[in-house]
Amino acid sequence: MKATEVDKFTVNPDETAFSLPIRVYYQDTDAGGVVYHSTYLDFMERARYEWLRQLGFEIHSLIQVHKVIFMVRSLSIEYLKPALLDDLLHVTAEAAEIGSSRIVISQQVLRGPATLVNATVQAVCVGADSLKPVRVPVPLRHQLGKHS
């Protein structure tokens, strides 16, 4: 990632993954300046949120227009290396699998070329009112298919 791209959300031309730059702040770390393990979940949630926004599906439109929300059903995470205070990270998100009512999302937390965290998130599409599984909206399914 070039230094000029730090403040932009990007999809690298040679990669399909959406990438969100995130700076590690003091509040994200322990007294030794190491990012808390649970903070990576917040970073990944932000990346998924912005990824959907970049695809044209803001959370409000998913709720108000499509009448759906996504809930995390399961998460598998592997911590490889620690992120530290003031690091510039890039958190990726891309659809690995699209089912009728679920999306499996592959995510990474990167510091430069180094992979710090690998995660697989299974999100289920549910009705905004019922909270019961429903089909992923066709327009979103179409957009996700173009980027997977």
Q: Which residues are catalytic?
A: 30
* CA–CA separation, 17 and 145 (whole Å): 13
What phi and psi values does residue 111 have, to the nearest 5 degrees?
-125, 105
Those residues whose C-beta lies under 8 Å from the C-beta of residue 11, and which sit 6 or more positions away, are 17, 18, 19, 54, 147
Torsion of CA 53, 40, 145, 96, to 10 degrees: -170
For 82-140, where are the E strands, in sequence order? Answer: 88-98, 102-111, 114-127
Closest by alpha carbon to 39, among 114, 89, 104, 94?
Answer: 89
Enclosing H/E stretch for 134: none
